[in-house]
Structure 1
Amino acid sequence: MSVSSALFRLHRAMILVFAGIVVTVEVTVVPIITNFTDLGFSFWLGLAGSAAKYWTLVLGIMLVSGHLKVFVTNGYTRRAFAAGATVFVTIVAAGVAAVVTLGHWLESTVVVALGEAASDYPVLTGGGLPGEFGRVFPVSLAWAVTGALIALGFYRFGGWRGLIAMVPAALPAAVSEGLVAINERGLSADLLPYLIEVLISLTVTVFGLAVFGLLTRGVAIRRTAG
């Protein structure tokens, strides 16, 4: 079994449970809000959009802290683990971005149809789906890569050197947040043209993945005490 397939099997239940929780919160809270006032922001973007960052950050950390040693000691090479982990987080990030984007479109469609959208609600139509996906995906992937790099920095260097390594490890997430991330009102920084922002963010993230692969290949696997 490939590393990516094994990782999907290990995390499948967690992914489904987490998705179920997010959807449950959405369908519970939004009707309560609209019962008192029109919706002036996307609750889904605020909720699932945050999950697209912080949940993938934790997932990236778990790749190193929970899986690196297990896979290597069970016969997988470090190179194979790094490659499989890269495939895994890329597919997960794309899936998360698709869920966030489609969820926003569905929420938008429903609240507009019911007349519960305020004038400043970030309406998303079918034509806007690719553009929003193009913002959420780089952010989701960047946070996963940052999590993996932070965990690998501590695993490989330990202590204060791991703390220092957190600074460059945070670059993928920091760049994506500064350039392409959108908030619950569908707004982004808009510092540069859209395609340039996405290209810069993805370039930094891909570089981070390359660093992850190089550092993983040379990492010493720690023995369990006792």
Structure 2
Amino acid sequence: MRRADRLFQIIQILRRSPRPVTAAEIARELEVSARTVYRDVADLVGQRVPILGEAGLGYVLDGTFDMPPLMLTPDEIEAAVLGAQWVAGRGEPVLAQAARDLIAKITAVVPERLRPFIADPSIGTPSALVQAADGIDVARARAWIREGRKIRIHYRDVRGDPSRRVIWPVIVGFFDQARMVAGWCELRGAFRHFRTDRIADAEFLEERHGLRPAVLRARWKRSLANPPEAARSPPQAAP
């Protein structure tokens, strides 16, 4: 790895970490010695990159640091293209169009020498299978998740049995043949997962459930690890 690339990668490691990163951790990832990391960090600080910390304790990048966001490596470009290809083929219409727009924007701003990594990438995704039609506006459901609002749905289970439920939507899942909305179901008193093609209709309520989306999502994740406990412990809205 060229030294310039290594310096850039050190900044990237610090940018993505929520905690101090030690020189030993950086050295392992870059496959260099800790002494090299110490020297590189000192050089970055000398170039006015706001790295805080010291040897043995770990380094953090000051949150005020601004670097052009599209200084991308070929691997980063192909990672972005791969993700956008997958979403373009499997996302609901709004998200699929956003993925295509993302690829176009990246193509427009990267240097000419990097554009072949977008036009002719070395990676790709399998063709998406035909998906059943959604019975809910998935783009609006994503907005309701961000805003912490409830949705009333008319749902038919795998046997075709109907039910009406009010859910606190947590996350939208995208799969090859169907999409899914996970949420806390007031009727069942537990987290449930609903295929969007089995939702007959949906009413987007103005009522908020009172939890921050990140908190509700964390409780949903815990429920996956411990389903019985999740069923006994409904989320509590903030007072």
Q: Same fold (TM over 0.5)?
A: no
Q: TM-score, normalised by structure 2?
A: 0.20
Question: Highest CA radius of gyration, 1 or 2?
Answer: 2
Task: Give the TM-score, by structure 1 length.
Answer: 0.21
- Which structure would you say has the larger RCO, counting Cα contacts within 8 Å and 6 or more residues apart? 1
Structure with the largest fraction of helix: 1
Higher strand share: 2
